Structure 1
Amino acid sequence: MSEAVPLSANPQRQPAIFLPHGGGPCFFMDWTWGPADTWHATQRFLESVAASLPAPPKALLVISGHWEEPAFTASAAAKPELIFDYSGFPPHTYRLTWPAPGDPALAERVVGLLRKSGLPAAASFNRGYDHGVFVPLKVAFPKADIPVVTLSLNLSLDPALHIAAGRAIAPLRDEGVLIIASGMSFHNLRVYLHPETPERARAFDTWLTAAVESPAPERDASLSKWREAPFAAYAHPREEHLMPLMVAAGAGGVAPGKRVFSGAKISAYRFDG
């Protein structure tokens, strides 16, 4: 029997990353909603992701805040189409392309890992890439040459359940699969430009960063009780854009996570443990 390779010696081990996917097709417009530089810094961060990885990923597993199902559901289509699930934007943003292939075998493995951990899981053979997937990844991986599987949230939006799902799929990182949690650390568009929002967003972000940068037991306990954070309901009137972070944290290992980007009200986090 061969000895197990230490995780630190595995050159293909990928991190789990929670990244902001912006507002609609914001990175592909001549104007942006909000202050002029609202999304420019986020775009520059997304453009830096690929070069920051230990090796080119063999596949991407993307958890999008724009897909919810009664059971965790993996997309198993071989050639997923784009889902233009935004409205009111310029016509050219509905003609964007990003023809990354699917990976039915990886989708099957994802479902198997979740079920092995006792979690409800299913596969979808017709799900495409919603804008929480193709908009940020068209920036981060413009060649669209890496296979992609998307994973839904569970309709319960239970943070502990999503952390458990992350733990279940964590072995994929050692197989060269980059786990990307696509959401927003602050997601209350109705108050985005209100004068009191920056201070409240910073308070929530400070709490969230402290939670993420704690060792796994403390991190999981804090994130499971995220509603107790300062201005939690203000930052997330509904929590679907925060739940992908729970999956990334669950998949992130025992070491503390790290904030790798901080922009206007939003942050990105990376787990290399």
Structure 2
Amino acid sequence: MNLPTYFISHGGGPWPYMEDMRKAMHVLEESLVDIPRQLPHKPKAILMISAHWEDHAFRVMSNPAPGMLYDYGGFPEHTYHVHYSAPGSHELAERVIELIRSAGLPALADAQRGFDHGAFAPLAVMYPDADMPVVQLSLRAGLAPAEHLALGRALAPLRAEGVLIIGSGLSYHNLRRFGPLAKEPSSSFDDWLQDSLIASSTTERVARLINWEEAPAARVAHPREEHLLPLMVAVGAAEDEVASCVYHEENIFGGVVASSFRFGAIA
């Protein structure tokens, strides 16, 4: 049975490791905890497409024992020593590279890359035991929506092989307009996302995503689109399947409206 795919809003920095921040993000935490319960079976592995990794080609983490990448600043000292101990998978990395190259897209192995917070922060909540292999996959520089939808299509066979595909970003990502200033643009963009992903036909959904810059408040919500592009991969890998909103909050980060989505029905 095919696993669904997900686009998750992953929160801010190392939030699961900070008591006050984790409490403030309890709605997000509840949604992440619920994802494993939605699956027909426990995944054999996770493929995580993080907004925090870009390269000239699609880079695939191939280290069997990935380290950590503390890609944030200004947080308490202990958050620079946390460790998510999930193993990597050289076998899955090779399979991912094979699928991407078969689709005519560039892919390279990366044996040095560690888990960034777009991966380890949500996974620390979803799978705190870190007991299954996790492989990260980068975005490609240029951030072309059609290319990342094509990437998702290339990866679709993994769903029948027990691999959970997660695109990790944020449905609104304008660090200069968090707080009350985020309310109007994030709400407008979220309304467009809900309509495009859930209320539109699958064909229209793809067309809207390719032309996402035409959405209301698009460039306010995403001055740079790296936190939106993981959505394209999740959609491409489940292109003809139903979408559901699995997380929605109207006051995260002091005023941001944010959402997460599943593609594929619950068994």
TM category (shorter chain) comes to over 0.9
Match of 1:135 in 2: 121
1:27 partnered with 2:16: yes
Contact 1:215–1:256 (Cα < 8 Å) also in 2? no
CA distance in 2, matches of 1:251, 1:64: 15
The CA deviation at 1:143 is 0.4
d(CA) in 2 for partners of 1:91 and 1:44? 26
Aligned match of 2:254 = none
* Residues 1-273 of structure 1: pairs in structure 2 closer than 5 A: 10=1, 13-32=2-21, 37=24, 39-194=25-180, 196-213=181-198, 214-264=200-250, 265-272=257-264
Q: Secondary structure of 1:199's match?
A: helix
Query: In structure 2, what is the Cα distance between the partners aligned to 1:30 and 1:73?
Result: 33
Alpha-carbon distance in structure 1 between the residues aligned to 2:102 and 2:201: 25
SS at match of 1:31: helix
SS in 1 for 2:150: helix
Structure 1: stretches of 5+ with no match in the other structure: 1-9
State the shift of 1:185 in Å: 0.3
Q: As a proportion of its length, which structure holds more helix?
A: 2
Q: Deviations over 1:110-134 (max 9, x none)?
A: 1111111111111111111011000
For residue 107 of structure 1, report the CA deviation from its aligned partner.
0.6
Given that 1:253 and 1:272 are in contact with CA atoms closer than 8 Å, whether structure 2 keeps it comes out as: no
Note the C-alpha offset of 1:272. 0.8
Unpaired runs of 5+ in structure 2? Answer: 251-256
State the shift of 1:199 in Å: 2.2
Please list the CA deviations of residues 70-127 of structure 1 after superposition, one character each: whole Å capped at 9, or x if unmatched.
Answer: 0111111000001111110011111212100001111111111111111111111111
Shift of 1:217: 1.4
Provide the rounded CA distance (Å) in 1 between the counterparts of 2:30 and 2:121: 14
Q: Percent identity?
A: 48
RMSD (Å) for aligned C-alpha atoms: 1.3
**Residue deviations 1:18-60 (CA, integer Å, cap 9, x gap):** 1111110122213339xx73x2211111111111111000000
Provide the rounded CA distance (Å) in 2 between the counterparts of 1:79 and 1:103.
Answer: 8
Q: In terms of mean alpha carbon deviation, does 162-171 or 39-48 score higher?
A: 39-48
Number of residue equivalences: 258
SS at match of 1:179: strand
1:72–1:154 contact (8 Å) kept in structure 2 = yes
1:232, distance to aligned residue in structure 2 (A): 0.4
Write the distance in 2 (CA, Å) between the matches of 1:170 and 1:24.
29
Offset of residue 242 of structure 1: 0.4
Counterpart Cα distance in 1 of 2:186 and 2:239: 27
Please tell me whether the aligned partners of residues 58 and 177 of structure 1 are also in contact (alpha carbons under 8 angstroms).
Answer: yes
C-alpha contact 1:182 1:244 (8 A) present in aligned 2: yes
Cα-to-partner distance string for 1:130-181 (whole Å, 9 max, x where unaligned): 1100011011000001101110000010011000000000010001100011
CA contact (8 A) 1:78 1:104 kept: yes
Residue 255 (structure 1) shift: 2.2
Compute the TM-score of the two structures, normalised by the length of structure 1. 0.91
